[in-house]
Amino acid sequence: MNEIEKNIQEIRAKLPENIRLVCVSKFHSADSIMQAYNAGERDFGESRAQELCTKAQNLPSDIRWHFIGPLQSNKIKQIAPLIYLIQSIESEKMLSQINFCAEKIGRKISVLLEVHIAEEKQKHGFLKSEILDFFTQKKWQKFPFIEICGLMGIATYTTDNEKIMQEFHVIKTLFDELKTVFPNSNFNTLSIGMSDDFPLAIEQNSTMIRVGSRIFGSRN
């Protein structure tokens, strides 16, 4: 068993069955991805459009590609035919641009709305008030070629577990509230938790974690 397979096995042992693992493969080689693929993984996360496109062309077609970083508007059309889920939607403007590209290629694109829960200002995402307004005002109806599947959040980078837990609790509470007002059975994904904090996310009923360094090691 190689190191990547061993790491995946260790993480899997800690995960409830209902949590999906996304292997954050950004900046890692196709060979590393194939090691994870051969260990049974199918969900991989990228943060650069060109890197995702190149890997998608050269790796198995049943890989589910997740876009997890800031997305430039001029890159949307590149990933639109390939993407399984865009997790980093931070504005209505971006939704409009994705909807336009999705309509042009004749497919619905699944997304998560990123909520700004962290202390750092440089983190991206909707404010909680903006998210509530988006759903209560039914603004999602303007985007018929987009499937809104849930929320994503990134906690503050800190060793203070109590703070991380509080931030995860904020987005979990918001997620539960939105499920009561958004009539879509596919709104079922809460993507919180990464390499350093996913055990805390599990405690807040995360349904998806994004793990990179604990699988692949340090970036190339």
Each domain of the chain, given as residue ranges in start order, spans 3-216
- What is the per-residue pLDDT for 1? 82
**% of the chain with per-residue pLDDT over 90:** 91
Q: What is the pLDDT of residues 127-186, one digit of tens each?
A: 999 999 999 999 999 999 999 999 999 999 999 999 999 999 999 999 999 999 998 889
Residue 121 has pLDDT above 80, yes or no: no
Segment (H or E) for 127: none
Chain-centroid distance of CA 153 in Å reads 8
Which pLDDT tens digit goes with each residue over 190-212? 999 999 999 999 999 999 999 99
| Average pLDDT of every residue of the chain | 95
pLDDT of residue 218: 78
CATH of domain 3-216: 3.20.20.10
Q: Please report which confidence band the pLDDT of residue 119 belongs to, taking 50, 70 and 90 as the band edges.
A: confident
Give the three-state DSSP class for 142. Answer: helix
27 token code pair: 């900046």
Q: pLDDT tens, 44-75? A: 999 999 999 999 999 999 999 999 999 999 99
Q: What is the pLDDT of residue 219?
A: 65
Output the pTM of the full model.
Answer: 0.95
Q: CB of 45 within 8 A of CB of 210?
A: yes
Stretch (H or E) spanning 198:
helix 198-203
- C-alpha distances (whole Å) from 137 to each of 30, 98, 105, 142, 181 are 43, 20, 28, 11, 10
Strand-pair partners of 153: 115
Q: How far is CA 169 from CA 14, 117, 121, 189, 200, in A?
A: 20, 10, 19, 15, 10
Which pLDDT band holds residue 122 (cuts at 50, 70, 90)?
low
Residue 1 CA: distances (Å) to CA of 6, 13, 36, 60, 76: 6, 16, 11, 21, 38
Going by C-alpha positions, the residue among 103, 111, 99, 5 that lies closest to residue 68 is: 111
**Residue-level pLDDT at 111:** 98
Q: H/E element holding 87? A: strand 85-89
